[in-house]
Amino acid sequence: MEIDAKYIAEYLNGEVVGDAGVKVKSAARIESAKPGTLAFLGNLKYESYLYTTKASIVLVNRSFVPSKEVNATMVKVDDAYQAIASMLELFASFKSSRRRGRSLFSHISWRATMGRGCYVGKGTVIEKGAKIGKGSQIYPQVYIGEDVKIGDNTIIYSGAKIYNGCVIGSNCIIHSNAVIGADGFGFAKIADGSYKKIPQTGNVVIEDDCEIGANTTIDRASMGSTIIRKGVKLDNLIQVAHNCEIGANTVIAAQSGLSGSVRMGRDCMVGGQVGFAGHITIADNTSIGAQAGILSSIKEEGRSLLGSPAMDAKEYLKAYSIFRKLHKR
């Protein structure tokens, strides 16, 4: 489906600069875009591409003033990053069609409850006591254990495993091969030097509007619940250990790991490969750079941290600048 610049401007509450009738049917990166595509300029580091791009339409911030002639039609918006996210969602909606029905090759317990308009793919197993909300999409080869509860319009992609008793809210996305509710890493050393397994009797609760990346694992609590609050976005290959709690609208990039009983606040931003020691608390609005090591609680809200062990980002950059020059002394 093609849409024109006028439609995009109305959809985003923006302003057209150029040909309002030019049409696009997909989005592309500004440096490699082709005619008929929509691009965006959110970072001025890429401004030079604006003057050479072959994109038909480019989203720019309302305050942006070009330094030379722009061949593409521009649509000025309040925030180009948010605008391109909205447009990608719109393009995806043109292509996707919600599936319905249950494959003959799936196994659904007669004691499970399925909401209206659900889809269940081939090879999927849904155990007794499970409750699936209306409109949810369960792709092939998913396992949903006993007494699992899944809200409305949630998508669970192929290969995901949801262990017994876990709860997933509405409008969530669980990507392929994620494992929700495996046992936490709990063992007690006994007199002969071996380890006795500590039963993990809790569950995992994922609230509404969350997204869990491929191959991410969220362990069940030893007692109580491991909790992922509303709007959390977890990238691929993340480990969340037993009894953790991640606050609302926090985002965590790939290969990060949370040890047991970490309490992370809301609206935090965590880069890739960050490691968290167990039993610590992270304040709201904390930003943590990639590969940082968080060994103790962060009590002050709004801090930015870098390094391992982590420290204030400004202090880290000063220390690093000195470290780089040590060989010259």
What the chain holds in terms of domains, given with CATH numbers, is: 3-95 (3.40.1390.10), 101-317 (2.160.10.10)
Gap between the Cα atoms of 136 and 154, Å rounded: 5
The whole-number pLDDT of residue 166 equals 98
Backbone angles phi, psi at 124, to 5 degrees: -75, 145
Fill in the amino acid letter for 171: N
- In three-state secondary structure terms, 280 is coil
Instruction: Respond yes or no: is residue 279 known to be catalytic.
Output: no
* CA-based nearest residue to 208, from 194, 223, 228: 228
Helix, strand, coil proportions of the chain in percent (round to 5)? 15, 30, 55
Active-site residue (options: 107, 175, 242, 327): 242
267-290 residues labelled b (16+ CB within 10 A) or e (exposed): bbebbbbbbbeeebebbbbbebbe
Gap between the Cα atoms of 75 and 20, Å rounded: 9
Fill in the amino acid letter for 95: K
The whole-number pLDDT of residue 92 equals 84
Gap between the Cα atoms of 309 and 313, Å rounded: 12
- Please list the pLDDT of the chain residue by residue as tens digits (329 residues): 789 999 999 999 999 999 999 999 999 999 999 999 999 999 999 999 999 999 999 999 999 999 999 999 999 999 999 999 999 988 887 776 678 889 999 999 999 999 999 999 999 999 999 999 999 999 999 999 999 999 999 999 999 999 999 999 999 999 999 999 999 999 999 999 999 999 999 999 999 999 999 999 999 999 999 999 999 999 999 999 999 999 999 999 999 999 999 999 999 999 999 999 999 999 999 999 999 999 999 999 999 999 999 999 999 999 888 888 887 76
Backbone angles phi, psi at 228, to 5 degrees: -115, 110
Q: Are 181 and 162 in contact (CB under 8 A)?
A: yes
The whole-number pLDDT of residue 93 equals 77
Q: Are 41 and 55 in contact (CB under 8 A)?
A: no
| The residue to which tokens 């880290």 are assigned | 316
The whole-number pLDDT of residue 96 equals 65
Backbone angles phi, psi at 65, to 5 degrees: -125, 115
Tell me the two tokens of residue 123: 């090879």
Gap between the Cα atoms of 30 and 59, Å rounded: 10
| Residues contacting residue 96 through CB under 8 Å, at least 6 positions apart | none
